[in-house]
Amino acid sequence: MASDRPAFWNPAEQGTAPALAKLSAPAAARNRDAILAILREILPAQGLVLEVASGSGEHVVHFARSLPGLVFQPSDPSPQARASIAAWVVEADIANIRPPLALDASAAAWPDIAPDAVICINMVHIAPWSAAEGLFRHAGEGLAAGAPLYLYGPFKRPDCPLEPSNAAFDASLRERDPQWGLRDLSAISALAEASGFAAPEIAEMPANNLSLTFRKR
């Protein structure tokens, strides 16, 4: 119910954004419009969108500005990322973004916010597999039938060799942390099915990335 949700955030009440708090991810500027084009097709006209692993906050600001009928709830387990999200939102002066939540995808419990959609960009390959498990489990429990869970990033596909850039990226991730690395699309799809989602709608994206839209059954 709407009454159970946090009040809207008024950036004007937050003061001036601290410049040093703002993080910047160059990839966000490169891929945000391609992702937005997909979101325009899959998101409802109105409702609450939970973004898991919001990172710097640049994506959520761009999406909220472009989709004013929706309310966005950013989240990230990192205090530094949450400070950056807050700084970007204050600077942009956008009212349809809520204060960032401290949310770890792999946590046993998530905040009770009843989202109408969940989006997660470039997370599952730079986190342990337990984060993907938590993402699908909690999204499956919280979304209504037909609601979307959207993922963006590089994935391994059956019977399809990795592009050289993605192979190098995968190797570098696994060198940094053995629990990281590009995920098999078949494993992600199986996880989704076990969590109550239909097979993904797949869209090819720039720079050898994929958009995956899972609908709750």
pLDDT at residue 34 in the model: 98
If pLDDT is split at 50, 70 and 90, which confidence band does 169 have? very high
Contact 117, 43 (CB under 8 A): yes
CA dihedral over 177, 178, 180, 181, signed as positive or negative: positive
- Per DSSP bridges, beta strands 209-215 and 201-205 are antiparallel
Q: How far apart are CA 149 and CA 192, in angstroms?
A: 9
| 155-162 average pLDDT score | 92
pTM score: 0.91
Q: Which residue has the higher pLDDT, 42 or 158?
A: 42
**How much is the pLDDT for 20?**
59
CA distance linking residue 171 with residue 178, whole number of Å: 10
Domain locations in the chain? 19-215
Query: Which residues are CB-neighbours of 73 under 8 A, at least 6 positions away?
Result: 48, 49, 50, 51, 97, 98, 101, 113, 115
The highest-level CATH class for domain 19-215 is alpha beta
Q: Which residue from 119, 120, 122 is spatially nearest to 208, judged by alpha carbons? A: 122
Does the pLDDT at position 8 exceed 70? Answer: no
Residue 173 binned pLDDT confidence (cut-offs 50, 70, 90): very high
Name the average pLDDT for the chain.
92
% pLDDT > 70, the chain: 91
Distances (CA, A) of 160 to 106, 170, 172, 207: 29, 15, 20, 16
Q: Is the pLDDT of residue 3 over 50?
A: no
Residues pairing with 149 in the sheet = 118, 214
pLDDT digits (tens, 9 = 90+) for 83-140: 999 999 999 999 999 999 999 999 999 999 999 999 999 999 999 999 999 999 999 9
